[in-house]
Amino acid sequence: MSNSDLFIGLISGTSIDGVDAALVAIEQNCPELIETYFHEFDDSVREKILSLCSGPEITLRQLGEADVEIGRIFADTTKDLLKRANITSKNVCAIGSHGQTIWHQPDGPLPFSLQIGNPNTIAEVTGITTVADFRQRDLSAGGQGAPLAPLLHRNCFRGEKDRVVVNIGGISNMTALGKEDNCFAFDTGPGNVLMDYWTNKHHAHTFDANGEWAKSGKTNAELLDLLLEEAYFDLPGPKSTGRDLFNGTWLEQKLRLAPAVTEEDVQATLLQFTVNTIATPIKNTTKAQEVYVCGGGANNNYLMNRLGDALSEYEVATTSKLGIDPDWVEAIAFAWMASETISGRRIDTTAFTGAKSPVILGGIYQAGE
């Protein structure tokens, strides 16, 4: 296998738990997962990122330093991946780095999406050409800039039946894959982000393992209705969202309008909120017969059971059934996108993000000698 076949995908998603790194072999536009590595953020890094995401009280110095710091973490994660795979940087054609989203504002007169994780730092420290800023070109072409993982879903997961691929990260998105080329995608709303916030607030854990805390509570119908009143859910696709809308402040505002609800019942309601905002658009906008789940939410047994209950007339499984580990789909996606960019190929994002035309995604940051 030559270095022209090997790419690395890097992403830290809206869950802000750490960096997913995937080493991928790509032959004839088809990715094969070779090795993986996960770098968990320590509490100080996670809190720093959350503070950048949470509001306007940040300085340019804070933003600039965080950009370099996260870039170094991405670079060190790449080195750890190479060590685990027993290869050197010279064996890898390029890195595709999504970075860490700080703010996503795709609508309005001046749309933008801000990711940190300096690609110059990644390229210099690793010695590997790095492709980054994937969202920016799509935004410049009139798209939402996200979601982008559906591009890989279309490339790898289409079948003989209409199906939907659901990615449940901090934010959830769905990709409708019609067998007759009628494909579309959009962010459905919160995935784990609000459940993680509530768990961390009351139990000092970063997530509710297997949904056990949610399982101990009961859904509060009045609170659920308040959450579902958010105007985002009535918008047509393509559409995208993030922590800039769905965050702890948003949830606390909703809770002040609700009757007194126990902590565990809030958690149960947040899980059902995620389920409903995924299941409803699947039922209303697709003719799918199969639903395949990827992302961290695929590891939450209670969430998967509740989603299966809500979609009882569908076959519901994880993307493992389609040959790709659900934990690594997004990292694989950015390795694949890097290969497309390095090859100078335009990717058609029009059905997924609303871009006016296919574009070459990302900028290329060349490695040194």
Q: Convert the pLDDT of each residue in 42-78 to its tens digit.
A: 999 999 999 999 867 789 999 999 999 999 999 999 9
pLDDT band at 2 (very low <50, low <70, confident <90, very high): low
pLDDT of residue 1: 47
Correct CATH for 158-322 of 3.30.420.40, 3.40.630.30, 3.40.50.300, 3.20.20.70: 3.30.420.40
Determine the Cα–Cα distance for residues 102 and 16; give it in Å rounded to an integer: 10
Q: Please report the beta strands in 208-314, taking only residues with DSSP state E, as ranges in sequence order.
A: 290-294
Determine the Cα–Cα distance for residues 245 and 180; give it in Å rounded to an integer: 34
Q: Would residue 227 be called left, alpha or beta, if left means φ above 0 and alpha means ψ between -120 and 50 degrees?
A: alpha
Q: Convert the pLDDT of each residue in 310-353 to its tens digit.
A: 999 999 999 999 999 999 999 999 999 999 999 999 999 999 99
CATH architecture of 3-146+328-365: 2-Layer Sandwich (3.30)
What's the pTM? 0.95
187, 311 contact by CB (below 8 A): no
Determine the Cα–Cα distance for residues 174 and 176; give it in Å rounded to an integer: 7
Q: Reply yes or no on whether the pLDDT at 368 is more than 80.
A: no
Q: Where are the domains of the chain?
A: 3-146+328-365, 158-322
Q: Reply yes or no on whether the pLDDT at 267 is more than 70.
A: yes
Q: What is the mean pLDDT of residues 114-118?
A: 97
Residue type (1 letter), 69: E
Record the tokens describing residue 81, joined without a space: 């991946």
Q: Convert the pLDDT of each residue in 71-115 to its tens digit.
A: 999 999 999 999 999 999 999 999 999 999 999 999 989 999 999
Q: What is the mean pLDDT of residues 127-147?
A: 96
Same fold, 3-146+328-365 and 158-322: yes
Q: What is the mean pLDDT of residues 176-181?
A: 85
Determine the Cα–Cα distance for residues 264 and 256; give it in Å rounded to an integer: 16
14, 87 contact by CB (below 8 A): no
Residue 113 neighbours by CB under 8 Å, 6+ apart: 101, 103, 104, 105, 106, 135, 136, 139, 145, 146
Q: What is the mean pLDDT of residues 35-41?
A: 97
Q: Reply yes or no on whether the pLDDT at 300 is more than 70.
A: yes
